[in-house]
Structure formats: structure tokens, C-alpha cells
Amino acid sequence: MLNLKITLAALMTMWTLPSSAAEMKYIDKKVRSESVEYAVSLAAEDGELGHAFVIWNRGDDTTNMTIQQVVGFYPQADKSKYEAMFGSSPGEIFDDSGEKPDYVVVVSVNSDAYERARAVFEKWKSSGNYLLGFSDCTTFAAEIGGAIGLKLPSRIFAPYPIEYIKKVGESN
């Protein structure tokens, strides 16, 4: 079996940034060398309400490629924007691979931290309720960030996803 070494630069070439102006922060949380590289990124896009999402990257020795998954947490699909903003509803994890981040915190991690973050993802996938400001896309990304050892700032002064993800980058 081939040992696969993936640099953060290689991981980042696997998905498209919206422009050369996209801001990025790189953090190395690895505590040991492993044959496979892992990265968990917290990303946000600006906009009317904005959106936060998570980008998973890991090497695969079998295929000699990087496997990537991009996901975000949303209110149930049949809710209107108004209902989603002012009420609680079941939440859903959606594929966000088409999203274009404006700010990204890329965190290089070991396999155990990656698996802790995946456990958080599985919990949200099976039992998450959406409530803006308390259990939303930003809360989802923040909980993933906590699982990989990031310092998490308060959301009080950073209510929008892009503001909060930038604060996470500044805090680490």
C-alpha cells in the first residue's frame, strides 16, 4: 500500500475558491506524523444572511487521491426563509460542494481529531433541529471546530456566519 502524503496546498486545490480575494487562515493542529493527511475547514460565504459550512479532506491510500466532502446545516427544505428565521424546524445536512467560500479556516489535524469531528457531524445528521442563532449553520460549524480543538469565540458580537468564522480564525 502506498503511503499518501497530501500537503495543505494540495488539499486546497481540490475545491474552487470564488476569487483570489478569498481570505484563508491555515492552522496546524497535528500532534504527530501519520501516513495519511487530514484537514477540516470551517468556511463561510457572505451575503444577505450568509452561510457557514464544513469542508472535510482526507487522503486515501487505496485510490491515491483526496476524498472531500462539503456540508452545511439548513432548516428543513420545505420551510420558507421567513419561517426558518423566526421558528424552529427539523434541520438537515446538505451537500454544499457548489458553495463558494469567502473566508476559510483550514485546520490540519490528526486522524483522531478528524474522527471526533465526524462524530459531531453524525450527531447533527441524525438529530439536529434548526433554530437561527442557536442551532444553525454557524452553530454546526462551531461545534465541529470545537471537536478539533479550536478556540471558539462568543457569537454575541459576530452574529453572521462570515463574521463568526473570521473570529474563529482570529482566535486561533
Cα of 96 vs its chain's centroid, Å: 10
Give the tens place of pLDDT for each residue, 98-115.
Answer: 999 999 999 999 999 999
- How far apart are the C-alpha atoms of 40 and 23, rounded to whole Å? 16
8 A C-beta contact, residue 30 and residue 108: yes
Cα of 120 vs its chain's centroid, Å: 11
pLDDT-derived band at 152, boundaries 50, 70, 90: very high
Per-domain residue ranges of the chain? 8-171
What's phi and psi for 90, nearest 5 deg? Answer: -60, 140
pLDDT-derived band at 88, boundaries 50, 70, 90: confident
Give the pLDDT confidence score for residue 3 in this predicted structure. Answer: 36
Three-state secondary structure along 83-152?
HHHHCCEEEEEEECCCCCCCEEEEEEECHHHHHHHHHHHHHHHHHCEEECCCECHHHHHHHHHHHCCCCC
pLDDT-derived band at 33, boundaries 50, 70, 90: very high
Query: Greater confidence, 133 or 164?
Result: 164
